[in-house]
């Protein structure tokens, strides 16, 4: 059993992990004509929990229970991974990335999370309001406006040859690059990081 946990806890090479992720698309299509994506689960949860007669949430959400189980599995898998498979060693980050982060004032890490940003104390500050609340709203709005999240468009949409998914993925990437290299520094200075 220790050998299996040791094997699972190691980083897998791209040529193993990539095809495993990529094969979920044909598997879902073949096994039940289902599409892969995570953001749609929020709509299913709202449809199940808010029976207010809102047209957007009025559909047979019970047909999508597999999607809710999938998202629940992601959460449980993440919890199990942090409890059973966590690496006690310091994470290895490229020196160029580390110097960029230090330039933004991010120096402390706990696992994969920079503790300079992700703490309960930061949640109730201007920084937390901007990055977590407003940023979270913008991500949710953008996901809804784009008709899906990055995983849905980049993995499912592109592999099923949907032009709108190619466009959405290109703009997801451009937005991320623009945010990282143009807006992030001034925003962090503005909120006093």
- Where do the domains of the chain lie? 1-86, 119-193
Q: Do residues 131 and 116 lie in contact, with contact meaning Cβ atoms separated by under 8 Å?
A: no
Radius of gyration over every alpha carbon of the chain, rounded to an integer in angstroms: 19
Q: Are 158 and 166 in contact (CB under 8 A)?
A: yes
Q: What is the pLDDT of residue 72?
A: 93
Question: Phi, psi (5° rounding) for residue 21?
Answer: -65, -45
Residue 33 DSSP symbol: S
The pair of structure tokens assigned to 39 is 């953001």
Quickly list H helices, 37-108: 40-49, 65-84, 95-103
What mean pLDDT value characterizes the chain? 82
Cα–Cα dist 86/93, whole Å: 17
pLDDT of 178 reads 93
Q: What is the mean pLDDT of residues 45-63?
A: 83
Pick from 130, 104, 125, 107: which is nearest to 193 by CA?
A: 104
CA diameter of the chain: 53
Strand partners, 109: 114
- On the question of pLDDT at 3 being above 80, the answer is no
- What digits encode the pLDDT tens for the residues 84-133? 777 677 777 788 888 888 877 778 776 667 777 777 887 788 777 887 88
């Amino acid at each position: 059993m220790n050998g299996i946990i040791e094997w699972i806890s190691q980083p897998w090479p791209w040529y193993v992990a990539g095809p495993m992720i990529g094969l979920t698309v044909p598997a879902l299509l073949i096994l039940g004509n289902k599409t892969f994506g995570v953001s749609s689960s929020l709509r299913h949860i709202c449809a199940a929990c808010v029976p207010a007669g809102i047209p957007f949430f009025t559909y047979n959400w019970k047909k999508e229970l597999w999607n809710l189980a999938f998202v629940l599995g992601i959460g449980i898998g993440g919890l199990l991974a942090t409890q059973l498979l966590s690496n006690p060693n310091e994470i290895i980050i490229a020196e160029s990335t580390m110097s960029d982060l230090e330039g933004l004032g991010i120096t402390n890490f706990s696992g994969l999370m920079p503790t300079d940003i992700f703490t309960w104390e930061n949640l109730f500050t201007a920084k937390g309001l901007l990055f977590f609340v407003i940023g979270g709203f913008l991500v949710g709005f953008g996901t809804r406006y784009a008709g899906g999240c990055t995983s849905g468009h980049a993995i499912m949409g592109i592999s099923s040859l949907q032009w709108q998914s190619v466009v959405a993925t290109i703009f997801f990437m451009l937005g991320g690059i623009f945010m990282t290299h143009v807006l992030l520094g001034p925003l962090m200075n503005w909120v006093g990081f």
